Structure formats: C-alpha cells, structure tokens
A and B are shown apart, each in its own frame.
Chain A
C-alpha cells in the first residue's frame, strides 16, 4: 500500500541511509552481503559446526564422492579426499584460515597504508612524491615475487603469507588514499576551512577525511578479494599453508594427486574460493555504484 503523504515535508534520509537504500536496491549486491555475512559466521563458528575434525582420517571411506552422487553418503556431505578426510569439515575449518587471514591482512595493511597515504597526501613537493612514487613502483611488483623472497628467508608457512601478501597490498592503500587526499586538498572548501583558521590536523580529520572514507571502503573490498586469491594461490604453490592444513588453496594442491580419479577434491575447494571472492566482489561493486552519486 502506498504511503499517504499528508505533509509536504517528508523524511529526509541521511547520507548513510541514502547509500544503504541505493545498495539495497541492487539485489545482487544484497545477495553478496548475505553471503559475506554467512562466510563471516562460518569463519568464526566453522570449527564448532564441522561434523569431523579436519585431520580425522576414515580408512573405510577413501575418495568418497559427494552425497548427490549415487555412491556418496550423507555422512560425508561433500565427499572425502584420498586420506579419507571429510571435505565439508575441512572447508569449514579452512574458512577462518583463508577468509579470516585475508581480513587480518587487509586490516593490517589498511592501517599502515592509511597512515602513510594520509601523511604523504597532506604533504607537498619532494617528500610527498618520494613517498608516493616509490610505493607506486612497488605496487607493480607481483605479490608472488614478494612471497618467494619471504619464503626464501623465513621458510614456507601460513604466518609468512601474512607478510608477503600484506607487503604487496599496502602500496595499493597508500596510493588510493594518497590520491584521494591529494585531490580533496586542491578543492575550494578546504581553502575555506584553512582561512577559518583550521590547522593541518583539523583540516585533515574534519574536512578532508569525511570525503575520503568512500575510497577507503571501496579499496578495502577490492583488497579482501585480492588477498583471498593470493593466500589461496600461495597455498596452492606450497609456499603458504603446508600439507595437512585445511587452507582452501592448499586443499586444491593436496587434491591434485587424485585429480583424475576424484575431481571433486579439487573442484569443491575451488568453488568455495570462487564463491567467497565473488560475494565480496558483488558487495564491492554494489558499494561502488551506491556511493558513486555522492562521489561525483
């Protein structure tokens, strides 16, 4: 039933509400948000939901196909791998390794990138260009090369993935925040605030930052999806999470031996990675289009 408007003055939504409405109008973005919420829940509570422990081997059920296959059973919903480990449980246990790790990496590099980016964005001349341009070029060094260097020094392991992917992601944040701050700094309303006597810190926090948060949010969603893909790729190459670990990329590489006889050991973790990255990209896309009227 349409709302009856008695008064001329209607409720004026706040900017946040406007963004939310624009976001919620896009069904795909909303779907992505639900999926991300589910993933978050699984990343936190996954180990309690999982029916088996990730390392528990069932010698009577080696390479069992998923339950929808004629020879599959419901006990092992997504089948088992070549050691008889339940793939469903391993996926649940791996969610916090892949997804949770990606979140931790992005938060850390966001923090570092935010500080460096805003400092270099607020500065002018040589200092600013040294900070930003050097990192600009670092941006183009592939994360895999950094990971190889880190592994050469510290040996493979999931902790080292944190450093490798984190170092690779930080320049992106620095660059995005530097550019956003720098662009805002040229605008007239900033000059007006300066003429009112605001010092640099006040200009930065109260005048510029409210207009930069959108860039930060969008960059964060992009970085999370990149981080998941990087962690999984390193796990796949055996440079990140090591063999018994249920990290999703490592699961793909462990399934590689039985690829021809049991393709689901590779397909299912791959689909899990694809779905989680897709969900985050859907949210990111939705956010970008919801925020774009404000940004322009």
Chain B
C-alpha cells in the first residue's frame, strides 16, 4: 500500500507539473505583453517592471523563465487581478468556500436520493417501475444543465415565486464571513436574526443545488442499480438467503456496501463534468463562487484571474480524483490485486 500511495503522489506531482507547463506555454500566447499577462499590472512603473522581470526571469531563456514561473505560482503568488487590482489568491480563497458549499450540498442530495432509488430499481420486479426509473435517469443524464437551471428558476422562482433565484443570501442580512460557508456562517453569527438568515440561505441554495444534483443523481442511480443487479446474483447472497436472513438485512448489510464501490469510482470519473456543471450553475443563479468568478474573468479578459483560477480549480479536481481513487483502493481489496499484478 505504501508503494501505491507513493505512486499516486508521484502522479499528482507529475500532473501538477504538466498543468503548470501548459499554463506557462498558454500564457506566452496570450494576446498581451508578457509582463502584463504575468503580473496583471497594466501600466507598471519602471521599478515595478524591473521587479516583474526579476521575478519571472524575463531576460533569461525559456527554461529559466519556466522555473521562475513555476516557483512564483506554486509559492502562492498568482499576480494581481487586472480588473480589481487585488491579489488573485485572495479572490480565489474567497470564492472557493461558496463553490464547495454548493458542490457538497448537491453531492449529498444526489447520494441521499440516488442510492435508495437505485436499490429500488434493482429490486423491483415490476417492469413499469424499472422502465420509468431508467427513463427518468436517462432524461436527467441528457438534459442540458443551463437549460434546466433556467427552466427551474422560471417555474419555481418567477411563476410560482416559491424560491429566490439569485445570490447566496438576501442582501438584508449582514453576515460576517467566518468559514465562507454561508450555511455555517449564518448559524455562527451572533445576531438576533441568525435563524431566519439561515433559513434564507437554505432557500437560496435549494434551486442551484437541485439543478447541479441532477447529473450525479442519475449516475448514482444507474451505477447502483447495475452493481446491485450483479451482486444479487453472487453466491454469497444466495448463501445469506439460504440462511434465512431478512431481505432488508441482505440488501443493507451484504449487498449495498459492495454496490457502493463502483459508485465511488464513478464519482471520481465524473468530477470534471461535475465541476463544469457547477460553474455553469453558478453563472445561471449568479451565486458567488469560483465558476462565476472565472467566467467573469474570461469576459473581462482578466488574464491573471484566468491563469490563477484554472490552476487552482484544476489542481483541486486532480487532487480529489486521485484521493477518490486511493479511497476506492483502500476500501476495495479486490482492486489491489490489479495494482500488484500490474507491476
């Protein structure tokens, strides 16, 4: 296992290096002057220009420039945002918690509803139930997320007026950011209206979270169903049935833990698409977050924000997908056989 972890760590480092290389090459193709694209200062003074040239080794050869670039970026200096002239790292760390909040809530919704529905679909002998569940998941898998978001906000936000359609919280509430998670911050704040602020934050997250949850939900249902169908045929389930165990016990204790392994694996594979969808959802519901920040950055041609945002988001996603793979292997001894056999 130690050797395996080392290899995954290597993979993470190699991929990060590849990512920085790609960004370095892309930066040199940005249609602006290099000091501007790197630092985000539009009209630098002579001292600033000298500082930038020293930081990024602009007078050296490509290799020296690359090393200097990697050093500054990985040490956390992402330059200044072109539009706001604030450090990009600061903006990124402010935007990240909001995105994580949305992703976590919709992930929970997807698993909470997806797993039981998948189990139901696999156990049901009724053709109509099976077909309708599969039809729903296939539709959910094919629906364009931006259109779904617009339609939901049109129905529930505008026509019925049940839920707010933009932002994270009503502007009337003044909440000090502590953790950056609005749901936690409202509870932590010591004002008299914190319960109503919390309710408001919950109302604000419902529509975006449901929109974003549709894709992982359908994937979870389909994978759970397929895995359950496979597992219920295996000898150890037959043995459990022969011992006279209750069907509920068999499903919950013997079959479901095994069925969740492929679900975990597919979640790792889905991470990139999920992140794309999360960014689109943030734009539609105009929630603060990395997605809306990055998309605003590209509209304004904010080159430092684009570099910093792409680097940050991609690193986080690569990290989590490798983490999920490691968890999958730790949780599933069968896959370790492949690892050792592959050597």
B146 in contact with A249 (CB, 8 Å) = yes
Bound-complex Cα distance A143 to B270 (A): 12
Chain A binding site: helix, strand, loop or mixed by DSSP?
helix
Chain B binding site: helix, strand, loop or mixed by DSSP?
helix
Bound-complex Cα distance A152 to B301 (A): 7
Which residues of B have CB within 8 Å of A269?
147
**Selected A-B contacts with CB under 8 Å, 7 pairs:** A137-B321, A148-B306, A148-B309, A252-B150, A274-B142, A277-B144, A282-B138
Q: Which of B40-48, B88-96, B250-258, B312-320 contacts A (4 or more CB under 8 A)?
A: B312-320
A144 in contact with B26 (CB, 8 Å) = no
Q: Which of B11, B144, B298 is the one whose CB lies under 8 Å from A151?
A: B298
Q: A151-B298, A152-B301, A260-B158 are in contact. Are A270 and B151 (CB under 8 A)?
A: yes
4 extra A-B contacts, CB within 8 A, seeds A148-B310, A281-B142: A137-B11, A148-B309, A151-B298, A229-B142
Q: Which of A233, A238, A256 is the one whose CB lies under 8 Å from B144?
A: A233
Q: Shortest beta-carbon distance, B223 to chain A, in Å?
A: 13
Q: Which of B67-75, B179-187, B241-249, B276-284 contacts A (4 or more CB under 8 A)?
A: B276-284
| B158: nearest chain-A partner, CB-CB | A260
Interface size (A, Cβ < 8 Å)?
47
B26 in contact with A152 (CB, 8 Å) = yes
What residues make up the interface of B, taking CB atoms closer than 8 Å to A? 11-12, 14-15, 18-19, 22-23, 26, 29-31, 138-139, 141-147, 150-151, 154, 158, 268-269, 271-273, 275-276, 279-280, 283, 294-295, 298-299, 301, 303, 306, 309-310, 313-314, 317-318, 321-322
Which residues of B have CB within 8 Å of A155?
31
Q: Say yes or no for A133: interface residue by CB 8 A criterion.
A: yes
Bound-complex Cα distance A233 to B141 (A): 15
Q: Which of B154, B276, B321 is the one whose CB lies under 8 Å from A143?
A: B276
A233 in contact with B142 (CB, 8 Å) = no
Q: Which of A133, A225, A267 is the one whose CB lies under 8 Å from B142?
A: A225
The 10 closest A-B pairs by CB, nearest first: A270-B147, A137-B15, A277-B142, A142-B276, A140-B321, A144-B276, A278-B142, A142-B275, A142-B272, A236-B146
